[in-house]
């Protein structure tokens, strides 16, 4: 079971990690690691939703046809 962290504990742990960063390359490497981590989490959740039937091919097709733009109302 994963241990829950408070927001303060999470921030402090991240600050300790980034305290050692010395170059832009290191920043980019950490950003890449974090992006990979969260992409994996998204893939795992999508797999879970697919396996439990929450989403399927038809749902994904419907998502592709949705119009989700924010309507803009200009002052007249």
Digit-coded pLDDT (tens) for 14-65? 899 889 899 999 999 999 999 999 999 999 999 999 999 999 999 999 999 8
- Residue 60 tokens, joined: 């994904």
pLDDT at 70 (0 to 100):
80
**Is 35 inside any structural domain?**
yes
**Is 71 inside any structural domain?**
no
**Is 65 inside any structural domain?**
no
71 pLDDT above the threshold of 90:
no
**Is 61 inside any structural domain?**
no
**Is 10 inside any structural domain?**
no
- Residue 7 tokens, joined: 């927001």
- Residue 49 tokens, joined: 């939703």
1 pLDDT above the threshold of 80:
no
pLDDT at 24 (0 to 100):
95
**Is 7 inside any structural domain?**
no
Q: Provide the residue range defining the domain that includes 38.
A: 22-53
**What's the domain count of the chain?**
1
**Is 37 inside any structural domain?**
yes
pTM: 0.64
């Amino acid at each position: 079971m994963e241990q829950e962290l408070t927001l303060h504990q999470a921030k402090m742990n991240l600050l300790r990690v980034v305290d050692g960063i010395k170059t832009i390359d290191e920043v980019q490497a950490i950003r890449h690691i974090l992006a990979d981590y969260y992409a994996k989490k998204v893939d795992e959740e999508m797999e879970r939703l697919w396996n439990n039937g929450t989403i399927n091919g038809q749902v994904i097709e419907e998502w592709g046809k949705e119009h989700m733009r924010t309507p803009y109302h200009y002052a007249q």
